[in-house]
């Protein structure tokens, strides 16, 4: 969706559906929670939060609940600066006497020790001026309710408080995931753990770990140690570390679903075991990005011997009943070139490569079934002969869900949730597994389990990954949690600003990584003022979208440092979005002098910033040479925009061929360079077009 049609989307329920309690309080209360709860009823007053806060537990009580509560209280302390009461053992004081407690938690039962698909995750939260009561059937709902409470906590001149309201909340879809590729660029334990904390905040409940790829085999195998020893450069999770991750996730009621991508995307398998490849080898770990030919040999008994041993081992390591086998982008090159494999297709009447792929999948399905696991795979596994009970993970297009469910397969949506591709949040947000007006039958809709954001790791390191994950993933989390009719884009963006800061408080680094990264780019000679200008400049840029970055950096490999200008830019520039909204407002009333002045002043400021960077830091810093054409482009665009506003304000007629000259200058200025682009260009173009109207 384009940025201009974005503005047209804004429709109903500006400040969510907060039903006013009386006709008098017709002003809706802005709730800053994301995902938006199922129902919110605002009430009068506020519950003060002070150092005297006390918590009482009623009903079920266990270690996971207490640990979750302690994490929540600590985050509340860090936000507010308050210190809550502690026991001599330094634990928070939790009592059983609920009459005077600030927060009462009433929990019905334990949640599944290892979380499972379809658990009751609901909770209610009733906040009055005297007490907050959080009720949930299980600990799972309690943890969600605590996240909501933390997001509601706010402060003003009167101190810290929770606004009075009543919330009833439950998820729309049971499978709300994030796929993390830890292969292309290794993502160590600390990234996985903080990502789990961010997921818990956003009420996501599935961490899908993409553990094997052409570029790395990232899990220890005790039965076939050549897999990780030769396929990983030593960068892999030991089984002990993986158990730690699974336990950390379970503490937060998050499932861990592993993916071992086969038969394609499998170069790293073949480095240590070339005998199961479809071509003779030898194989080395792939360092570049793309789709590669190496593929397991589905006709070789040894392939299944290794798969059986390895998957049986992994089935024991990962407690979740679902196991993802990838299955994507097998280009068929090595299968087509291998006479033995071609003969096998004929001998087994498999018809074609897809038939052979399905034959392979069904043999893997049998191994998994023997281990009590359900097979999950990307779109390409879909085939009429695919073993029933498999789950199809849709990524290739908008029709995947319909195609899979038409054949009776359960499905998860990721098409439209590719956060690695740097799309604006709104594109993901309005992408619904079952959109309003969906043509899916009721039976098909029941097969839609939910969706997953996908974080592929060609262009991210532990330093930058959070800036691609957050806060946009929180908007996808809302799509999967909140009601189908929650689609107000302006309100989503309003709440996203809050949740972004809450995520940072919970340990994400999408905001904080940027200043050190810019200091490194600027070099030792940069002044404080240089750094302020540079920050303002990169906040106006975005990484190029979709798969364009590979075209800008065709020689990049796994070893290329990701510390350039593009790595300091972030998707969905807030500055650009604000500017576009102002332009939209202005063009609806070009005679409005205040908006014209604001816009013109903004463009003047950016122009001055571009000039100072161009004459200063950009000349001095070797790392910033690539910014030179971009600062020039910004200056040119700002000039065109200011001219347009001048013409519109005075109602003058632009000179002959003015429009063409400006548009062609903007065309040049708007060309992506060094893998970044200016999202303000469409708004400036709109100003020029408006000024050129007779
Ligand atoms: C994929 O993006 N190849 C699943």
pLDDT in tens, 408-445: 999 999 999 999 999 999 999 999 999 999 999 999 99
Chain Cα centroid distance, residue 529: 33
Please give the backbone phi and psi of residue 324, each rounded to the nearest 5 degrees, phi first: -95, 130
Please count the CA atoms within 13 angstroms of the CA of 552 that sit on its side-chain side: 19
Ligand 1 mean position to 275 CA, how many Å? Answer: 26
- Contact between 380 and 328 under an 8 Å Cβ cutoff? The reply is yes
Ligand 1 mean position to 637 CA, how many Å? Answer: 37
Chain Cα centroid distance, residue 552: 23
The Cα 364–Cα 261 span in angstroms is 12
- Contact between 199 and 191 under an 8 Å Cβ cutoff? The reply is no
Ligand 1 mean position to 456 CA, how many Å? Answer: 8
The Cα 480–Cα 417 span in angstroms is 11
pLDDT of amino acid 10: 30
The Cα 534–Cα 188 span in angstroms is 30
- Those residues whose C-beta lies under 8 Å from the C-beta of residue 23, and which sit 6 or more positions away, are none
The Cα 457–Cα 174 span in angstroms is 26
Best mutation site among 421, 456, 457 for ligand 1 pocket (most ligand atoms within 8 Å of CB)? 456
pLDDT of amino acid 18: 39
- Looking at the DSSP assignment, which residues form a beta bridge with residue 258? 209
pLDDT of amino acid 364: 98
- Contact between 458 and 184 under an 8 Å Cβ cutoff? The reply is yes
State yes or no: cis peptide before 263, omega within 30 of 0: yes
pLDDT of amino acid 522: 97
- The torsion defined by the Cα of 492, 494, 496 and 497, in degrees rounded to 10, comes to 170
Q: Which atom of ligand 1 is nearest to 379's Cα?
A: 4
Kindly tell me if the per-residue pLDDT of 386 is higher than 90.
yes
Pick the CATH number of 21-169 from 3.40.50.12170, 3.40.1280.10, 3.60.40.10, 3.30.379.10: 3.30.379.10
- Length of the chain in residues, anyone? 694
Ligand 1 mean position to 336 CA, how many Å? Answer: 22
329 is catalytic: yes
Tell me the mean pLDDT in the region 490-501.
Answer: 97
pLDDT of amino acid 397: 87
Ligand 1 mean position to 252 CA, how many Å? Answer: 27
For residue 424 the two structure tokens come to: 């604006």
Helices (H), 523-627: 528-538, 548-552, 565-568, 574-588, 593-615, 617-620
How many Cβ atoms sit within 10 Å of the Cβ of residue 156? 8
The Cα 566–Cα 570 span in angstroms is 8
For residue 482 the two structure tokens come to: 């909140």
For residue 61 the two structure tokens come to: 């009580």
For residue 671 the two structure tokens come to: 């060309």
pLDDT band at 5 (very low <50, low <70, confident <90, very high): very low
pLDDT band at 593 (very low <50, low <70, confident <90, very high): confident
The Cα 169–Cα 482 span in angstroms is 9
In order, the DSSP letters of 212-256 are EETTEE-B--SSSTHHHHHHSTT--B-HHHHHHHHHHHHHTT-EE
Q: Which atom of ligand 1 is nearest to 329's Cα?
A: 3
Q: Characterize the bridge pairing of strands 123-127 and 132-138.
A: antiparallel
- The residue written with tokens 């990307």 in the block is 378
Segment 277-290, tens digit of pLDDT: 999 999 999 999 99
In the 3-class helix/strand/coil scheme, how is 332-382 assigned residue by residue?
CHHHHCCHHHHHHHHHCCCCCHHHHHHHHHHHHHHHHHHCCCEEEEEHHHC
Kindly tell me if the per-residue pLDDT of 659 is higher than 80.
yes
Tell me the mean pLDDT in the region 495-500.
Answer: 97
State yes or no: cis peptide before 282, omega within 30 of 0: yes
Segment 524-546, tens digit of pLDDT: 999 999 999 999 999 999 999 99
pLDDT of amino acid 517: 98
Tell me the mean pLDDT in the region 595-602.
Answer: 96
How many Cβ atoms sit within 10 Å of the Cβ of residue 440? 17
Query: Which class is domain 175-504?
Result: alpha beta
Best mutation site among 290, 395, 417, 458 for ligand 1 pocket (most ligand atoms within 8 Å of CB)? 395
Q: What angle do CA 447, 452, 457 make, to 5 degrees?
A: 145
The Cα 687–Cα 689 span in angstroms is 6
Burial class (CB in 10 A: 0-12, 13-18, 19+), 86: exposed
pLDDT of amino acid 36: 97
Ligand 1 pocket, Cβ-based, cut-off 6 angstroms = 328-329, 378, 395
The Cα 613–Cα 530 span in angstroms is 7
Of all residues in the chain, what percent are helix, strand and coil, respectively (each to 5)?
45, 15, 40
Kindly tell me if the per-residue pLDDT of 635 is higher than 50.
yes
pLDDT of amino acid 398: 86
Q: Which atom of ligand 1 is nearest to 378's Cα?
A: 4
- The residue written with tokens 């950009």 in the block is 618
The Cα 479–Cα 469 span in angstroms is 16
In the 3-class helix/strand/coil scheme, how is 281-330 assigned residue by residue?
CCCCCCCCCCCCCCCECCCCHHHHHHHHHHHHHHHHHCCCCEEECCCCCC
Measured by CA distance, the residue closest to atom 1 of ligand 1 is: 328
Q: Which atom of ligand 1 is nearest to 454's Cα?
A: 2
Segment 90-136, tens digit of pLDDT: 999 999 889 999 999 999 999 999 999 999 999 999 999 999 999 99
Please give the backbone phi and psi of residue 4, each rounded to the nearest 5 degrees, phi first: -75, -35
Helices (H), 134-188: 139-152
Kindly tell me if the per-residue pLDDT of 148 is higher than 70.
yes
Ligand 1 mean position to 202 CA, how many Å? Answer: 24
Tell me the mean pLDDT in the region 569-581.
Answer: 97
Share of the chain above pLDDT 70, in %: 96
Best mutation site among 208, 264, 329, 416 for ligand 1 pocket (most ligand atoms within 8 Å of CB)? 329
Q: Which atom of ligand 1 is nearest to 456's Cα?
A: 2
The Cα 476–Cα 451 span in angstroms is 9
Ligand 1 mean position to 324 CA, how many Å? Answer: 12
pLDDT of amino acid 320: 98
- Contact between 236 and 217 under an 8 Å Cβ cutoff? The reply is yes
Burial class (CB in 10 A: 0-12, 13-18, 19+), 331: middle
Segment 214-233, tens digit of pLDDT: 999 999 999 999 999 999 99
The Cα 91–Cα 103 span in angstroms is 16
Measured by CA distance, the residue closest to atom 3 of ligand 1 is: 328
For residue 254 the two structure tokens come to: 């998050």
pLDDT of amino acid 17: 37
The Cα 49–Cα 153 span in angstroms is 8
Tell me the mean pLDDT in the region 672-686.
Answer: 97
The Cα 680–Cα 640 span in angstroms is 12
Segment 186-205, tens digit of pLDDT: 999 999 999 999 999 999 99
Q: Select which of 329, 463, 536, 646 is catalytic.
A: 329
- The residue written with tokens 């297009």 in the block is 397
Helices (H), 387-488: 400-406, 425-429, 442-446, 465-469, 472-481
- Contact between 634 and 610 under an 8 Å Cβ cutoff? The reply is yes
Return mean pLDDT, the chain: 94
Nearest to 632 by CA among 674, 573, 687: 674
How many Cβ atoms sit within 10 Å of the Cβ of residue 369? 13
Segment 235-267, tens digit of pLDDT: 999 999 999 999 999 999 999 999 999 999 999
Segment 120-133, tens digit of pLDDT: 999 999 999 999 99
**For the chain, which residues make up each domain, given as ranges?**
21-169, 175-504, 514-691
Q: What angle do CA 41, 43, 47 make, to 5 degrees?
A: 120
- The torsion defined by the Cα of 130, 135, 140 and 145, in degrees rounded to 10, comes to -30
Measured by CA distance, the residue closest to atom 2 of ligand 1 is: 395
Look at the domain 514-691 and name its fold. Methane Monooxygenase Hydroxylase; Chain G, domain 1 (1.20.58)
Ligand 1 mean position to 326 CA, how many Å? Answer: 8
Tell me the mean pLDDT in the region 32-49.
Answer: 96
pLDDT of amino acid 26: 37
Ligand 1 mean position to 328 CA, how many Å? Answer: 6
Q: Which atom of ligand 1 is nearest to 395's Cα?
A: 4
Ligand 1 mean position to 497 CA, how many Å? Answer: 30
């Amino acid at each position: 969706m384009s940025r201009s049609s974005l503005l047209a989307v804004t429709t109903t329920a500006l400040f969510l559906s907060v039903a006013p309690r009386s006709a008098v309080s017709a002003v809706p209360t802005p709730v800053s929670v994301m995902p938006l709860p199922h129902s919110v009823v605002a009430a009068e007053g506020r519950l003060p939060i002070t150092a005297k806060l006390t918590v009482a537990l009623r009903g079920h009580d266990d270690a996971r609940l207490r640990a979750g509560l302690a994490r929540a209280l600590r985050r509340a302390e860090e936000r507010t600066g308050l210190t809550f009461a502690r026991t001599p053992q330094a634990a928070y004081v939790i009592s059983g006497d609920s009459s005077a407690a600030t927060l009462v938690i009433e929990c019905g039962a334990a949640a599944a020790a290892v979380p499972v698909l379809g658990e009751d995750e609901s909770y209610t939260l009733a906040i009055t001026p005297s007490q907050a009561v959080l009720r949930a059937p299980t600990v799972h709902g309690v943890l969600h309710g605590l996240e909501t409470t933390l997001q509601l906590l706010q402060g003003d001149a009167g101190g810290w408080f929770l606004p009075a309201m009543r919330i009833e909340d439950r998820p729309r879809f049971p499978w709300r995931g994030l796929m993390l590729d830890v292969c292309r660029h290794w993502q160590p334990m600390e990234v996985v753990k903080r990502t789990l904390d961010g997921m818990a905040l956003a009420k996501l409940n599935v961490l899908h770990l993409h553990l094997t790829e052409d570029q790395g085999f990232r899990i220890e195998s005790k039965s076939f140690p050549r897999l990780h020893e030769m396929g990983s450069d030593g960068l892999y999770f030991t089984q002990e570390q993986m158990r730690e991750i699974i336990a950390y996730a379970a503490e937060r009621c998050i499932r861990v679903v592993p993916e071992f991508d086969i038969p394609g995307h499998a170069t790293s398998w073949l480095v240590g075991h070339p005998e199961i490849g479809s071509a003779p080898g030898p194989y080395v770990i792939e360092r570049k990005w793309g789709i590669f030919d190496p593929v397991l040999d589905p006709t070789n008994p040894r392939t299944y011997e290794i798969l059986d041993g390895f998957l049986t081992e992994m089935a024991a390591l990962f407690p979740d009943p679902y196991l993802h086998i990838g299955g994507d982008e097998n280009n068929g090159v090595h299968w087509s070139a291998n006479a033995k494999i071609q003969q096998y297709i004929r001998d087994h009447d498999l018809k074609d490569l897809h038939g052979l792929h399905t034959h392979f999948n069904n043999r893997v399905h049998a191994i998994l079934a023997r281990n009590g696991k359900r097979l999950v795979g990307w779109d390409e596994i879909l085939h009429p002969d695919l073993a029933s009970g498999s789950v199809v993970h849709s990524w290739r297009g908008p029709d995947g869900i319909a195609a899979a469910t038409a054949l009776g397969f359960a499905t998860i949506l990721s098409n439209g949730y590719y956060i690695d591709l740097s799309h604006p949040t709104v594109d993901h947000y309005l992408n619904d597994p079952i959109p309003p007006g969906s043509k899916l039958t009721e039976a098909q809709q029941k097969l839609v389990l939910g969706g997953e954001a996908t974080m592929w790791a060609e262009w991210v390191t532990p330093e930058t990954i959070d800036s691609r994950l957050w806060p946009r993933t929180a908007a996808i989390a809302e799509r999967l949690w909140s009601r189908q009719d929650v689609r107000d884009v302006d309100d989503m963006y309003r709440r996203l600003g809050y949740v972004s800061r809450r995520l940072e408080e919970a340990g994400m680094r999408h905001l904080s990584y940027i200043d050190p990264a810019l200091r490194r780019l600027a070099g030792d000679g940069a002044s404080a003022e240089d750094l302020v200008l540079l920050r303002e400049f990169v906040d106006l840029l975005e990484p190029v979208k979709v798969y364009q970055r590979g075209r800008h950096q065709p020689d990049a490999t796994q070893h290329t440092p990701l510390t350039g200008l593009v790595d300091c830019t972030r998707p969905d520039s807030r500055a650009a979005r604000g500017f576009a909204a102002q332009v939209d407002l202005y063009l609806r009333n070009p005679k409005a002098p205040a908006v014209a002045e604001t816009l013109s002043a903004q463009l003047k400021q950016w122009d001055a910033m571009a000039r100072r960077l161009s004459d200063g830091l950009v000349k001095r810093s070797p790392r910033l040479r690539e910014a030179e054409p971009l600062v020039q482009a910004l200056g040119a665009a700002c000039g065109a925009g200011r001219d347009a506003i001048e013409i519109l304000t005075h109602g003058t007629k632009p000179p002959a061929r003015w429009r063409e000259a400006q548009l062609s200058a903007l065309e040049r200025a708007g060309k992506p360079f060094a893998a970044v682009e200016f999202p303000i260009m469409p708004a400036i173009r709109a100003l020029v077009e408006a000024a050129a109207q007779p």
